[in-house]
Structure 1
């Protein structure tokens, strides 16, 4: 359970009903709130005297009934409070997190209806949400649209992807804000089961940089019982406005008072490193809901997975394309001979995991139904308990247990959510019976029931239902094709990680540009950890299969650096075991690197260009550093002042060779050891598309 540390300051008082100001604890931020001439709620914000958000409207258009919660309000009251506490994480980038803010709760009255807006101003930015207390004149309603605006102060540089109700697997586009509309068609790549927003809209987290050097990140926190927020972009006025994901009936959120919306977040700094270091989104989520968290453990794993992407195996057992759950007799079908999730192959992975100290082995394609999947819309395709004839569940449980390794479950739902929910308890009981304690879920395809979207209110409730149900059985969850995270892993820490972005699998399918992973920490990872599946050391894929013409947009060393720069408590060594045998000296870093941390330091950062991060392993006197760059060669400055003073350490440096290049010579690397201390500053060369990985231990 979380522990409350340090101290708490809380005051409450009423102030006059006029235009209001709220300052952050350090005074860097000032928020202004008032009612305009139409008596609509309006806010604006400055950071160190510089305008961040110009006057911006708040409120709702309502689909049901006649009430419109957007104007003709009266200011009923203001309550102010402050809080300064420190809490302990179950797992994370640091063990202790300070939660320090000043708060203003605005109560608004409109013809007997009450709407409240709660503002919290931290030293790194703003969070605010709408609250609807229990009341007679506003009990239940359907939102037509949330009217929240973020009117920007200029034509900022923006790192964005197209708004879409069903996928967040686009590449990021970097442009001026005013160029978003002209670039939207090009940016909207062809993706399975996509639903792009018709107007000029972008997804959150949205990262920006102003001409006067401010870094601005807009997202949301604690997305519970509500649709995800995209942002309409007005390229002429530099305005952003909320665009909620609709449900099957056209509504954008069913509200039943008492109810709160998610928090809208704006993180700001003149130093890009502070954006990555911000814990504002986590602080806006509720504390852990579980009394016992002893069963929740960070995981380092390998898996029967990558061989399917490089053409050395298949998910399906046969090539018969028409199967029916509970009817098809697989013993009568001819095996295709390429099914990867077979008992003998999985045993090889278990042996490898045991030999090299990995916790678990993910196995995809173990259960019947994959022949007729392919992203097709099917209501009853998987039952999550029936294995293929060549996958011996009992034997693999016995074998893995004898090696001290867990097998990780895979539940691909084919987006048939109603089917999955019907079978969920049965599936978790099956997992518990056969020794599983973690599951990777998938939602590829069009959501069933029809008309619902991956990012809609129905699905957001579903993802939480899975996490909560998993907790009853002491299971950990890693969700793919789900809504992007909003810090809910603080409240439900068994929800270890998500995909929710374009990850490593796209290296084999269409390629990823070198800048991709210098943007993701400023965007997708702001809300929570990603199962990016790094560690691809054989970066030229024709080595496995001549038909695979793509190669990774990285050097080998950059893949090592991801274990530090792409934070997750769930880290995969995604390449094939035989690849790691060939690169055993480089593989050592993956074996050594931690997945849970006492503290983290952002040493260098510029979105789209480079990131260098250092972290201390939780409960161990070991430190790890990862640095990555885009397509440009650069020199990283690595200041080791975070090390305890007066001691000597040995740093093992995994670096690109002098001729390394992500495209022409990606697997050329060197390993060297140097003596270092807290006074050491390393100047480290990074190849184009390259990186650096460093492990540091105290010298005996």
Structure 2
């Protein structure tokens, strides 16, 4: 009888544990996640860091369309599984040669009483934060379903300070606004820019990655990882209760996702630390993605390039071959019969000039935009068939340029602008990629400017997210690297498909020619946009006065020249462009030397100083060498950066070349004022360096033999 009673007690305690809270701790024990079911069966979680509340009790679940019962409540726990994972993997390219993937996982299986449907919520807790996702296993009572809205909540503990951009279904190209959460509603309209297409979003909606700081010094970042076959997540804020809730990008019908079990959602991520440098150093987003799916990655190479681009962005030159738009619209297709435009940039003579410059200064490739027919009538009319991606203008000899570039040891980089017509691009993809390979192009910059076709779709809805993924996977079949502009913001998918070598997906350098960006913009992007993957930011502008290129453009690049050099270190990317014109580099060859020297693939990265929106200082060790490079970018206020060089190998001597702001430099009034000095350094050396508003410094450190 005694043993029987003990068995009954054991079973009772086991059942009790499944119906109440579950706890998960990070490997270092500093972060704790608590899961529980409310009395009505609503899944709830909360998060603490070093015993400080980070996320207050927050609901989980999904609202379904046209369904009697959404996946929001009436759940019971039917199983829990705990596991630990600790491994190291080697990225094809990256900020370090090895990445540790260490987490504790809790998988909670829930059954809904009324429907017998099963949902598994996976929680992975890393030392730097939490990831959670929904899994819908194969089951009779849940096969096809449509998501009306995901209801994942992130309940804040207070009125934090946030760096945010408006929630937009089609644009990420904003300057960031810094404000209290309670001020977002009032500041929303001011944050909108004329390039933004946001029209149907609540005035408290923001995009991820969202960077916040609490009054007691915690740094919190909200984002998502592994966005596959799902709509991109924005966040709606209940600013009375300070609760964010997921808001998925809708399709033309207003639906948020079409699912077929078995399937999974992306991961929702929460990073937290009392040191901002930990946010920059985190590889959690990559670790939440699947391992590399490409068996042979030997063809995927980091690229440093120049291109026929900036002169068109500034309005100095044009993409289109002719100004005879009426003839084009009336059906003339033989461009040789039309009068050429004298400002067309993608011509043989000019492109060869760029190839020569690239060859002379050791650049891997040259990008050419505006080489193909269709630019006269490509934008704003929702045309399905605009470009065929293989037919050049009369003044661009594809085969001849390829041979010339090859003779100079330079690779050409293709440009595919889709004008938002995803169906047209997909119908041409095989032909376009084959054309690239036949003509020696290993990389493509794709673009999605304009309204998406099919009409009514958005840049970040499920169908279009799937299009971007299709293009990446199709490119891998042809061994083509992809740099996608205007695509969905990255979520670490580049781990699985490292041929996704870069993205724009944020307000890049081009906006410096469209009126300018805030001088602290580049101190925010590594905490936001770059959390999901590298950005093709296109740095390296030396001439800040755009009117010198185009008298009709009075824009100004809000950066010092030294700041532009530092971006090659602080804005990580295996795809780095020297974006300015060759003649501007020839005016400042001593400063240009840093761009020539700086690496684009790394063994190690060390985050020396960081404060979102104010400053970032990073040191990186070049892959396969003892060379180090340091970059510092500064925000709105002048400051002195103080760093130690203790990352250098002890007992060895190095020569440091320091490219810095001059004392009288200023991003607006004196941006080209810089100094260059050399200094012998060791691991015991310290450096105090002035960074002016919108300024910074860059250091090349090489071992003395």
For 1:124 and 1:193, how far apart are their aligned partners in 2? 34
**Equivalent residue for 1:53?**
55
Report SS of the residue matched to 1:530.
coil
Which of the numbers 60, 70, 74 marks the counterpart of 1:68?
Answer: 70
**Equivalent residue for 1:633?**
638
**Equivalent residue for 2:618?**
613
Q: How does 1:543-692 map to 2 (within 5 A)?
A: 543-692=548-697
Q: Given the alignment of the two structures, is residue 442 of structure 1 paired with residue 447 of structure 2, yes or no?
A: yes
**Equivalent residue for 2:124?**
120
Which of the numbers 137, 142, 145 marks the counterpart of 2:146?
Answer: 142
8 Å CA contact 1:375–1:444 kept in 2: the answer is no
Q: In terms of mean alpha carbon deviation, does 136-145 or 185-194 score higher?
A: 185-194
8 Å CA contact 1:202–1:230 kept in 2: the answer is yes
Which of the numbers 28, 40, 45 marks the counterpart of 2:30?
Answer: 28
- Output one character per residue of 1:549-573: Cα deviation in whole Å (capped at 9) or x when no partner: 1111110000000000000000000
8 Å CA contact 2:222–2:271 kept in 1: the answer is yes
Q: In terms of mean alpha carbon deviation, does 58-67 or 591-600 score higher?
A: 58-67
For 2:41 and 2:397, how far apart are their aligned partners in 1? 67
Q: In terms of mean alpha carbon deviation, does 612-621 or 323-332 score higher?
A: 323-332
- TM-score under structure 1 length normalisation: 0.97
**Equivalent residue for 2:8?**
none
Report SS of the residue matched to 1:437.
strand
Quote how far apart the aligned CAs of 1:669 are: 0.7
Q: How does 1:154-173 map to 2 (within 5 A)?
A: 154-173=158-177
For 1:619 and 1:326, how far apart are their aligned partners in 2? 55
**Equivalent residue for 1:3?**
none
For 2:665 and 2:465, how far apart are their aligned partners in 1? 44
Which of the numbers 294, 310, 317 marks the counterpart of 1:313?
Answer: 317
For 1:167 and 1:516, how far apart are their aligned partners in 2? 17
For 1:534 and 1:57, how far apart are their aligned partners in 2? 42
For 2:349 and 2:198, how far apart are their aligned partners in 1? 37
Q: In terms of mean alpha carbon deviation, does 543-552 or 330-339 score higher?
A: 543-552
Report SS of the residue matched to 2:415.
strand
**Equivalent residue for 1:339?**
344
Number of residue equivalences: 688
- Output one character per residue of 1:468-517: Cα deviation in whole Å (capped at 9) or x when no partner: 00011100000000110000000000000100000100001110111111
For 1:159 and 1:193, how far apart are their aligned partners in 2? 20
The 1:644/1:375 distance shift into structure 2, 3 A limit, reads: farther
**Equivalent residue for 2:481?**
476
Report SS of the residue matched to 2:495.
coil
**Equivalent residue for 2:536?**
531
8 Å CA contact 2:168–2:197 kept in 1: the answer is no
8 Å CA contact 1:513–1:553 kept in 2: the answer is yes
For 1:460 and 1:140, how far apart are their aligned partners in 2? 19
8 Å CA contact 1:325–1:383 kept in 2: the answer is no
**Equivalent residue for 1:19?**
21
- Output one character per residue of 1:284-312: Cα deviation in whole Å (capped at 9) or x when no partner: 00000011000000000000000112232
Which of the numbers 295, 301, 313 marks the counterpart of 2:299?
Answer: 295
Report SS of the residue matched to 1:168.
coil
**Equivalent residue for 2:110?**
108
8 Å CA contact 2:170–2:196 kept in 1: the answer is no
For 2:249 and 2:570, how far apart are their aligned partners in 1? 31
Which of the numbers 186, 203, 218 marks the counterpart of 1:182?
Answer: 186
For 2:367 and 2:342, how far apart are their aligned partners in 1? 20
For 2:44 and 2:665, how far apart are their aligned partners in 1? 53
**Equivalent residue for 1:99?**
101
Quote how far apart the aligned CAs of 1:233 are: 0.8
Quote how far apart the aligned CAs of 1:547 are: 2.2
For 2:259 and 2:37, how far apart are their aligned partners in 1? 24
Report SS of the residue matched to 2:241.
coil
**Equivalent residue for 1:493?**
498
Which of the numbers 449, 459, 465 marks the counterpart of 1:460?
Answer: 465
- Output one character per residue of 1:627-660: Cα deviation in whole Å (capped at 9) or x when no partner: 0111211111121111110000000000111111
For 1:523 and 1:639, how far apart are their aligned partners in 2? 26
Q: In terms of mean alpha carbon deviation, does 309-318 or 37-46 score higher?
A: 309-318
Q: In terms of mean alpha carbon deviation, does 289-298 or 322-331 score higher?
A: 322-331
8 Å CA contact 1:624–1:696 kept in 2: the answer is yes
Report SS of the residue matched to 2:501.
strand
Q: Given the alignment of the two structures, is residue 202 of structure 1 paired with residue 206 of structure 2, yes or no?
A: yes
Report SS of the residue matched to 1:683.
strand
8 Å CA contact 2:19–2:37 kept in 1: the answer is no
8 Å CA contact 1:325–1:380 kept in 2: the answer is no
8 Å CA contact 1:166–1:195 kept in 2: the answer is no
- Output one character per residue of 1:607-640: Cα deviation in whole Å (capped at 9) or x when no partner: 0100000000111110000001112111111211
Report SS of the residue matched to 1:37.
coil
**Equivalent residue for 1:7?**
none
8 Å CA contact 2:18–2:77 kept in 1: the answer is no
**Equivalent residue for 2:411?**
406
Quote how far apart the aligned CAs of 1:374 are: 3.4
**Equivalent residue for 2:10?**
none
**Equivalent residue for 1:9?**
none
8 Å CA contact 2:65–2:146 kept in 1: the answer is yes
Quote how far apart the aligned CAs of 1:192 are: 5.4
Report SS of the residue matched to 1:396.
helix
The 1:393/1:195 distance shift into structure 2, 3 A limit, reads: farther
Which of the numbers 681, 696, 699 marks the counterpart of 2:701?
Answer: 696
8 Å CA contact 2:173–2:196 kept in 1: the answer is no
RMSD: 1.3
Quote how far apart the aligned CAs of 1:235 are: 1.2
- Output one character per residue of 1:521-561: Cα deviation in whole Å (capped at 9) or x when no partner: 11111111000000001112222232221111110000000
For 1:148 and 1:324, how far apart are their aligned partners in 2? 49
**Equivalent residue for 1:249?**
253
For 2:400 and 2:331, how far apart are their aligned partners in 1? 23
Report SS of the residue matched to 1:294.
coil
Quote how far apart the aligned CAs of 1:327 are: 5.0
Quote how far apart the aligned CAs of 1:103 are: 0.5
**Equivalent residue for 2:88?**
86
For 2:588 and 2:515, how far apart are their aligned partners in 1? 25
The 1:325/1:399 distance shift into structure 2, 3 A limit, reads: farther
Which of the numbers 284, 288, 294 marks the counterpart of 1:284?
Answer: 288
Quote how far apart the aligned CAs of 1:16 are: 4.1
- TM-score under structure 2 length normalisation: 0.96
Q: Given the alignment of the two structures, is residue 234 of structure 1 paired with residue 238 of structure 2, yes or no?
A: yes
Report SS of the residue matched to 1:26.
coil
**Equivalent residue for 1:270?**
274
For 1:80 and 1:393, how far apart are their aligned partners in 2? 57
For 1:658 and 1:171, how far apart are their aligned partners in 2? 27
Report SS of the residue matched to 2:494.
coil
The 1:105/1:651 distance shift into structure 2, 3 A limit, reads: same
